[in-house]
Amino acid sequence: MSQKTRQIDRGVALDLAELTPGEMETLAADLGAERFHGRQVFRWLHRRGIADPGQMTDLPRTLRARLAATVTVRTPQIVSDLRAADGTRKFLLGLADGARIESVFIPDTPALTFCISTQVGCAMACSFCLTGRMGLVRNLTAGEIAGQVRVLAGATGLLERPFNIVLMGMGEPLHNYDETMKALAIIHADDGLAVSPRRITLSTVGIVPGLDRLATEPLMPNLAVSLHATTDEQRSRLVPPNRKYPLADVLDACRRFPLKRRSRITFEYVLLDQVNDTPDDARRLVRLLNGLKAKVNLIPLNPAPGIPYDRPSDARVNRFAQILAERHVHVSVRKSRGLDIRAACGQLIVDGGPRRSSGQQAAVLMR
């Protein structure tokens, strides 16, 4: 008897959304069915968006009845769906325990892209990010992370179409490492949405142990590192985890990171007016990235109430980008999407439930 079946026997409703294809097969066998029926269940749930076992019509009737009696599927529920003038959609999703998160659909980027959350809130406390002001409420489970993709794909009519995923919503993915990687395995599975790792980008502030673990994964997404500064003094003010993982350590981990021949690490850099957007900052950034297969994504700040910085002028943004380009750094400037519904980078914030105390947050951060 597997651990999953023991959970059922204890009267605890097993959540199918949390299971990988292999775990689904084991569950089917434990319930007296053939193992391949487990993959059928997985396909119904993740590829077709059907959560009711009674509607899984190619399963044996006895298995459907046993599933209906013993398992559940906890799917994030759409609370609101706001649509911006540029086509961006911001979804407020309710979770089973009452917590709420935000996820974003961004069309024409040039691909169709889902921006997904990995935590309720965030412990990183970056000073230009609204999510960081929430603190960390809790980690999301693998089923809740993958469930966002399933829900957004269904709501946008993309269950049968290719799309990209960026783990750039609420939370730090490497701070919720195991659940994030299990979610990626669920999203990637052939019997589900079958999203290629080439279509998935994981964004991190640079949790060095997490970067080193990620470097060994068989399923490896594209990597984006949120840099945002060119000196440790400056970055520690903007990105507090820099006090534990300074620039040199983060960049060394990036140099160790295995890349395919044509791949590059994306370094994200939020430009703050008169803070980190000077020509000297641009030249230091070039030196920091020397020898790395890198591209830089410049993100002019998306202002929001409570954020103590301003967006630099287009002239300052262009000058910064020009300095990088002249020194042969691959550079792009991100176009802000969904500003009118506060769906742009750094603007996701909800009432996620009870906030941890500052002491608890610090303990989580420095683990």
> Which active-site residues does the annotation give?
102, 345
Find out whether the peptide bond into 110 is cis, omega within 30 degrees of 0. Answer: yes
Half-sphere exposure of 54 (CA within 13 A, CB side): 2
Rounded (10°) angle between helices 36-46 and 142-155: 60
| CA 193/CA 190 separation, integer angstroms | 7
| CA 124/CA 131 separation, integer angstroms | 9
> What is the full DSSP assignment across 121-162?
E-SS--TT-HHHHH-EEEEPPHHHHHHHHHHHHHHTT-TTS-
Q: Provide the edge-to-edge strand list for the sheet that holds 200-204.
A: 77-83, 89-94, 100-106, 113-115, 164-167, 200-204, 222-226, 265-271, 294-300, 330-333
Question: What's the DSSP call for residue 173?
Answer: G
Q: Among positive and negative, which fits the CA dihedral 159, 164, 165, 169? A: negative
φ/ψ (deg, to 5) at 165: -130, 130
| CA 62/CA 342 separation, integer angstroms | 48
